Amino acid sequence: MQYTFENIDELIAKLFAGEIGEAEALVLETWRSSSQANKQYFEQMERLWQKANLAQSSLARPLDVETALARTKSKIQQIPAPGKAKKIAMNQWWLGIAASILLLTAAILFFQNSGGETPVTLATLGNTVRDTLSDGSSIALNQHSSLSTAFSNKKRSVKLQGEAYFEVAKNPEKPFVVEVAQVEVTVIGTRFNVDNRSDSTKVVVSVEEGKVKVQIGPQIIFLNGGEQATIDCSNEQIIRSKLPPSGNVKAWLDRRFVFDDVPLSEVIPILEKAYNVQIELINKDLGNCRLHAPFNDESIERVLGLIAETFSLKVTSNNGRFLLDGAGCE
């Protein structure tokens, strides 16, 4: 196609969309530098594009500007003039066409780069929250945490502060990415827990099932079910480990525990986190006592009562803190 100054709005739209060729760019630059009015007109179009928040975007497919121009011209010509006809200035007429082109570009980008999904925002204080996302993934948010989603046609993005447990619906074409602190956790479909609540300088990713990619800066590792990564955000160090027997990844959520030969020194922090209480072993040697017991959504009083009975301990409560004391274990 031979480009002339009459096609200038098409060239402007192509320039902003990143689709302009060298010859077209030369025509546009010659036109823009030929007069102050042309320069001002170009700047008007640039501001319009920026307001549409498209300045940094490019089209996923060629923009059919000729069709857009033809349709816009047709609509303008069909507008009846009520009473006395009004003459439309050429500058205003072309401005309307260019605006139509930019709006068409915006619509294409919106539907190509957005999944049309309504963002979800969750936040908790002293409670936990469960929800199911539009893709079928289920999430649970721990106390004093927040989460927001931004799903597009290319990926499912989640920003997290605090702790959450995810059961991600499988979709190989749309990875599920959790951003927490400086860490990115990418999955296709799996079950895992992300904790930034216990220590704000660290992120702990615990995988129950599937495969998870963990990245901070240039550091990348892949975790399989039964594995865990502890990421130190201060130095971008990642430490991989097996989930400990006392892991109970989502015990904070369902209060279902399986302690299989686990010392009380590891049991106590898990119970404190799940019930949001403080528990102290008066006799520090009690930390060596090894517990073999499952608990299924019992109250903290019931759990501590059973532990006390198992090891012949005394349980008392003092200003909201639970105290365990006894002779200890051999």
In a domain, 299, yes or no: yes
CA distance 291 to 254: 20
Within-domain flag for 312: yes
Q: What is the DSSP secondary structure assignment for residue 47, as one 8-state letter?
A: H
Residue whose entry in the numeric block shows the structure tokens 């402007």: 12
Rounded Cα gap, residues 111 and 117, in angstroms = 11
3-class SS of residue 312? coil
On whether both 91 and 168 belong to a single domain, the answer is no
Any idea what the CATH number is for the domain that residue 165 is in? 2.60.120.1440
pLDDT at 185: 96
Judgement on whether residues 128 and 238 belong to the same structural domain of the protein? yes
Could you tell me where the beta strands, DSSP code E, fall in 156-288? 156-161, 163-167, 176-180, 183-187, 191-195, 202-209, 211-216, 219-224, 227-232, 237-242, 256-263, 278-281
Q: How many helices (H) and strands (E) does the chain have?
A: 8, 19
List the alpha helices (DSSP H) in 52-135. Answer: 65-78, 90-113
Within this chain, do residues 185 and 216 fall inside the same structural domain, yes or no?
Answer: yes
Q: Last residue of some domain: 63, 95, 113?
A: 113
If asked whether residues 101 and 47 sit together in one domain, one would say yes
| pLDDT score, position 35 | 81
Asked if 20 contacts 53 with a C-beta cutoff of 8 angstroms, the reply is: no
175: in domain: yes
pLDDT at 2: 45
Q: What is the pLDDT of residue 325?
A: 93
**Domain assignment of residue 330, yes or no:** no
Do residue 130 and residue 214 come from a single domain? yes
| Per-residue model confidence (pLDDT) at position 105 | 47
Residues 131 and 234 in one domain: yes
Q: What are phi and psi of 130, to 5 degrees?
A: -115, 150
263 and 222, same structural domain? no
Asked whether residue 104 falls in the same domain as residue 128, the answer is no
Residues 278 and 297 in one domain: yes
Q: Are residues 189 and 91 in the same domain?
A: no
Edge-first strand order for the sheet with 183-187 is 121-123, 146-151, 156-161, 176-180, 183-187, 211-216, 219-224
Residue 57: domain span: 5-113
* Spans of the chain below 70 pLDDT: 1-7, 17, 44, 47-117, 245-247, 330
21 lies in the same domain as 91 = yes
Number of CB atoms found within 10 A of residue 37's CB: 9
Same structural domain, 165 and 190? yes
Write the CATH number for 291.
3.55.50.30
Q: Which of 211, 242, 273 is the last residue of a domain?
A: 242
Which tens digit of pLDDT belongs to each residue from 265-324? 999 999 998 898 999 999 999 999 999 999 998 999 999 999 999 999 999 988 879 999
Judge if pTM exceeds 0.75.
no
- Which one of 212, 242, 272 terminates a domain? 242
- Overall number of domains in the chain: 3
In a domain, 126, yes or no: yes
